[in-house]
Amino acid sequence: QGHLVESGGGSVQAGGSLKLSCKASEYTYSRFCLGWVRQTPEKGREGVAVIDKDGSTTYADSVQGRFTISKDNAKNTLYLQMSNLKPDDTGRYICAALYSCGPRFDIATMSRATSLDGYWGRGTQVTVSS
């Protein structure tokens, strides 16, 4: 824990936007498959968005068209641009850099990943009010 550091969370009203960042100080992002999960008491951990080594992206159905994941390998920083936020987007957003992409790197892979599968941040809280 603590190898990755998230920032950018906060409290916004529905319809607002936030941009999350995830900085790695020790690792080269180009070597990993990266993603964001969010965690809530009600739903547990769920994958939100992933980006593979080649830059291909995949999104959970609930955020498709509203969220954009991107990375800057030179800065070792992962981003999540969130727009048109909804109260259901509330949660703790955690970034991860996985050692292996597996045969198919998708939202399900990200949702199942554990601390043994890569490096994880501590998360940043996003709260969306109606």
Each residue of 34-55: pLDDT tens digit?
999 999 999 999 999 999 999 9
2 or 40: which leads in pLDDT: 40
The three state secondary structure string of the chain is: CCCEEEECCEEEECCCCEEEEEEECCCCHHHCEEEEEEEECCCEEEEEEEECCCCCEEECCCCCCCEEEEEECCCCEEEEEECCCCHHHCEEEEEEEECCCCCCCCHHHHHHCCHHHEEEECCEEEEEEC
- pLDDT of amino acid 1: 44
pLDDT tier for residue 2 given thresholds of 50, 70 and 90: very low
